[in-house]
Amino acid sequence: MSYDRVAFVGLGLIASSMFWAMRRAGMGAHVTGYARSEQTRATAREIGLCDTVCDDLASAVRAADLVVLCLPVGAMGEVMAELAPHIKPGATVTDVGSVKRAVIEAVAPHIAPGVHFVPGHPLAGTEHSGPRAGFAELFDNRWCLLTPNGADTAAVAQLSDYWQALGAKVEEMDPDHHDLVLAVTSHAPHLIAYTMVGVADDLHRVTNSEVINFSATGFRDFTRIAASDPTMWRDVFLTNKDATLEILGRFTEELFALQRAIRTGDGEMLHDYFTRTRAIRRGIIDAGQDTDAPDFGRKKR
């Protein structure tokens, strides 16, 4: 069973991609959207994003069977408090936040009896943000993790079907485990990339034009990661503090061991380490989660 009316709260990369993926899937649902910024709403109207773009939160969610919170994690609680009275009984509320425990703590207290709250996280994104950044293929073959946390199983199943229709693969997970897994596979790597790009920007013996021109493989990828939305990522780190700090602690410990091997000239340790990490790459390609094309196919330009 699919939803008759879907409301997007927040109209950035994820909401707009969800909308185009719904259209691609031929879903007949009526889609409403709301964004706090007047400019975002104007852009959404201009590009035909949503059937109706509403100027207030209440109108956007009032009739919805599914309300999708597409907001920075830090904004979820406040917005949910404001829209809670307007959600109809039997509706499902979900979100797309990169952190799950903090979202549950912020949102769940505002969920009325008879409304289903099924937190979610599509593992998909680009370094671009805003309503124009979306595209229908964003979720294809990507995972969407749901952390139902005791929600009604029929509501969970319906949301799972919906995500699969958008192209995603769905798995359920405990919220705390989700936050740890993502700290490893996404949050710590992002912080590290931001840090490395910041170091380059600061190093006055190397000019920024040298950093830019001679950004070989390696740094170039870091700059892409470090171009992601600052508000979204600030909120991720502040709300997944413990897991991120734990992983960064492990990372630093390991980095020091490798630094020591460089300092002492322990080539065997370095070679063994670099050989081991190759296997994980192979696994990711075999699992269809990345392309094996050299240089991401950049050479084809």
Q: Return the residues of window 119-138 that contact a copy of itself according to CB under 8 A.
A: 123-128, 133, 135, 137-138
83: contact with a copy of itself by CB under 8 A = no
Which residues lie below 8 Å from residue 96, measured CB to CB, with a gap of 6+? 14, 15, 18, 68, 69, 70, 120, 121, 122
* Min CB(162)–a copy of itself separation in Å: 20
241: contact with a copy of itself by CB under 8 A = yes
**Beta strand 120-122 pairing with 143-146:** antiparallel
Which residues lie below 8 Å from residue 261, measured CB to CB, with a gap of 6+? 269, 270, 273
- The count of chain residues that interact with a copy of itself, using the rule CB under 8 A, is 110
Q: Which of 81, 112, 154, 284 binds a copy of itself (CB under 8 A)?
A: 284
23: contact with a copy of itself by CB under 8 A = no
Q: Measure the CA–CA gap between 168 and 223, rounded to whole angstroms.
A: 27
204: contact with a copy of itself by CB under 8 A = no
Q: Which of 24, 59, 149, 219 binds a copy of itself (CB under 8 A)?
A: 219
25: contact with a copy of itself by CB under 8 A = no
Q: Which of 118, 145, 156, 170 binds a copy of itself (CB under 8 A)?
A: 145
Distance of CA 102 to the CA centre of its chain: 15
Q: Measure the CA–CA gap between 191 and 198, rounded to whole angstroms.
A: 10
Token couple for 252: 């630093």
Q: Which is nearer to a copy of itself, 3 or 139 (CB)?
A: 139
Q: Which of 21, 35, 146, 180 binds a copy of itself (CB under 8 A)?
A: 180
CB under 8 A: which stretch of 31-39, 62-70, 111-119, 262-270 binds a copy of itself? 262-270
CB under 8 A: which stretch of 36-44, 100-108, 146-154, 259-267 binds a copy of itself? 259-267
252: contact with a copy of itself by CB under 8 A = yes
φ, ψ of residue 247 in degrees (nearest 5): -65, -40
Looking up tokens 């992002």 gives 190
Q: Which of 26, 28, 89, 218 binds a copy of itself (CB under 8 A)?
A: 218
φ, ψ of residue 235 in degrees (nearest 5): -65, -40
Q: Half-sphere exposure of 25 toward its Cβ, with a 13 Å CA cutoff?
A: 23
DSSP structure class, residue 136: T
Q: Which of residues 57-76 bind a copy of itself (CB under 8 A)?
A: 74
